[in-house]
Chain A
């Protein structure tokens, strides 16, 4: 139970941190949009953080830009496209499906399929034969030793 409370508390402190910039929103929906956008946009400077977590100047500026764009009534997709036009696909944590990135989805599926084929093809019927042959061989060796 203590752990549970601790985890919940951690989640809430994280949220408080993300919102430290003090942006004022007209509607709760807009605020939710802002939080989700800053969580899924990636900071180009400190590369493994989203712009909500990062304290780099560029992340500050991007948060401010997201805020301004939302205030102007832009949709989430429009904000994402705006950032992509400047920083490339890199800036969004959800990569687009292109010939190069297709493998991210295809590779695990292919792996499972190939593994399945492999398992099915490895029929167990070869085993008894082998065992019989081995036994025969062992018997032969025993007999040889006896002689």
Chain B
């Protein structure tokens, strides 16, 4: 019976492999460890989508907990989540700011005019509801790149001091809000209220 331990080795290796592969079944390859977490919003200077003479900077997002929503009219999932976001704004008074970027608007060859983009946005918001306090127009998609955005929709929870506290890739629906984004949002709101009280 000296050989018994040797027989166990393949079995052990096999069970390890099974555990490894089984875990792999439930891992999400899209889930990247975001580099934005815990960092301040990168510096930017971008126009308002509807009124291009207004300019926003990273400072514009300070003072209140903000849910920054990266979106575009060409993005189907954004249209799907829009009614839910609108409900969040109306029922829980969540401050949602849009970071809008256009797919067809190639910075090197301006084929699409701003007024056309605005028209598309107005149409879409009229159809699905408007959750946004305002929309920042990321003309050259530079700020999206700085934020580590891979596509749309993506969301950033930004605390009152302008620090990114959560990066959520994908849409926000009731399940995601209840389990992931909502608790963090409430925590940040409490934090900012505590800070305000301390300041007084």
Contacts and interface: CB of A to CB of B under 8 A. Distances in A.
Contacts of B32: 44, 87-88, 90
Nearest to B36: A86
B146 A86 contact: yes
Given A44-B150, A47-B29, A87-B148, A61 B141 contact: yes
B33 interface: yes
Contacts of A47: 29-30
A86 B148 contact: yes
Given A57-B103, A62-B145, A85 B150 contact: no
Among A57, A61, A64, max chain B CB count under 10 A is at A57
A65 B34 contact: no
A62 B150 CA distance: 10
Contacts, number: 41
Given A47-B29, A61-B144, A90-B33, 4 more contacts: A45-B150, A58-B149, A62-B145, A90-B32
A87 B35 contact: yes
Contacts of A58: 145, 149-151
B151 A88 contact: no
Contacts of B29: 47
Interface string A10-53: 00000000000000000000000000000000001101000000
A113 interface: no
Nearest to B148: A86
Given A88-B33, A88-B35, A90-B32, A57 B151 contact: yes
B151 A45 contact: yes
A56 B151 contact: yes
